[in-house]
Copies of this chain bind each other. A is one copy, B any other.
Amino acid sequence: MATISQEELDGIYAFAVELGKQAGQMLMDAAQVRIDGGIARSEEKEHVQKENAVDLVTETDENVEAFIKHQIAEKYPQHKFVGEESYSKGASRDYLIDDSPTWCVDPLDGTVNYIHLFPMFCVSIGFIHNNKPLIGVINAPFLKQFFSSCAGRGAFMNETQRLPLIQKPIPAMPKNAPSGCVFSCEWGKDRRDIPDGNLHRKIESFVNMAAELGGRSGRGGMVHGVRSLGSATLDLAYVAMGAFDIWWEGGCWEWDVAAGIAILQEAGGLITTADPPRDEATAPIEDVRLGSRLYLAIRPAGSLGEETGRQGQERTVREVWRRVRNLDYSRPGA
């Protein structure tokens, strides 16, 4: 198992930041073509509008991934590369990340948002070594929000503002969490109307988190707000920022979360499994496995009386586990 020095890591970080800026600009340039009427000029207006938008977006997605992959191969030919686009075209759904230095990239997260030009989209670039996300770069160019982190160097918004945003002091988790928390969750793509299927289990979990205290047979969490952005990557960035307190999700993939996990952990957040264990009140709370497709993230937290920040986060994890259902997003090799 090779080691990477902090100096080497700093160089990789600087490269990743530059890469994220260039890739974000590519996304924004392609969006501008659509705003400026690129579709209309090249095609007939009727029946093809939506299909055209989707085709153009797929093309952009592929172009940005190819660009990032090429840049990395030039600079770090010995590093592995796992990208959303190339993975999706392959036959395997195995988890491909091992101990090697590996880039895990989503050229465009929030694809549906990008198709509709809702600003919550981004490029996500993670660098992983020994199975640990060490560097994260998330660029949301339409929002002009750029998130980045490097292990040992802190996590930042727009390169200057340390995450979480409120530092003096970092707020503790609310005493009655999840009450008082902003809860972020996604409806996802699995919309099958199967009794006790993933869609219905998700909804049941969301409603438990949202309902009044005492409601739902004691499971009501009365969260302060429920948010769905349509981007797992930005959900994680906002948890790292402290804007969201809790993110709970099943079904997304390692490239959706690799950069976000790096940023969240460097900011002091916690990420574990979405899947409540049987002994939810006492089970050890371990870092999530990157390829597990089941994620529960808690924002960076300060202490509260005798309770450390970590203890407050763990208390919140258990309160979430008590209210959510197990989801079924199995995969081979994970």
What residues of chain A have their CB less than 8 Å away from a CB belonging to chain B? 34-37, 39-41, 45-47, 49-50, 53, 112-113, 115-119, 143-145, 161, 165-169, 171-172, 174-175, 180, 182, 187, 191-193, 199, 203, 207, 210-212, 214-216, 220, 222, 224-230, 238, 241-245, 302, 304-305
CB distance A50 to B174 under 8 Å?
A: yes
CA gap between A53 and B242 in the complex, in Å: 13
- Of B167, B222, B225, the residue contacting A113 (CB under 8 A) is B225
CA gap between A243 and B187 in the complex, in Å: 18
CB distance B37 to A167 under 8 Å?
A: yes
- Of B112, B215, B238, the residue contacting A118 (CB under 8 A) is B238
Residue of B nearest to A238 (CB): B118
CB distance A165 to B117 under 8 Å?
A: yes
Chain B residues, CB < 8 A from A144:
144
CB distance from A230 to the nearest CB of B (A): 5
CA gap between A118 and B119 in the complex, in Å: 14
CA gap between A112 and B181 in the complex, in Å: 10
CA gap between A32 and B228 in the complex, in Å: 25
Q: Could you write out 11 A-B pairs with CB less than 8 Å apart?
A: A37-B166, A41-B168, A113-B225, A116-B242, A116-B244, A117-B243, A119-B145, A144-B144, A191-B222, A192-B215, A228-B228
CA gap between A174 and B53 in the complex, in Å: 12
CB distance A212 to B193 under 8 Å?
A: yes
CB distance B119 to A143 under 8 Å?
A: yes
CB distance A169 to B40 under 8 Å?
A: yes
Chain B residues, CB < 8 A from A119:
143, 145, 243
CB distance B169 to A45 under 8 Å?
A: yes
CB distance B224 to A116 under 8 Å?
A: yes
CB distance B230 to A229 under 8 Å?
A: no
- Of B182, B210, B302, the residue contacting A199 (CB under 8 A) is B210
Residue of B nearest to A230 (CB): B225
Residue of B nearest to A216 (CB): B193
Top-5 shortest CB links A-B: A193-B215, A37-B168, A118-B243, A187-B226, A112-B225
CB distance from A123 to the nearest CB of B (A): 19
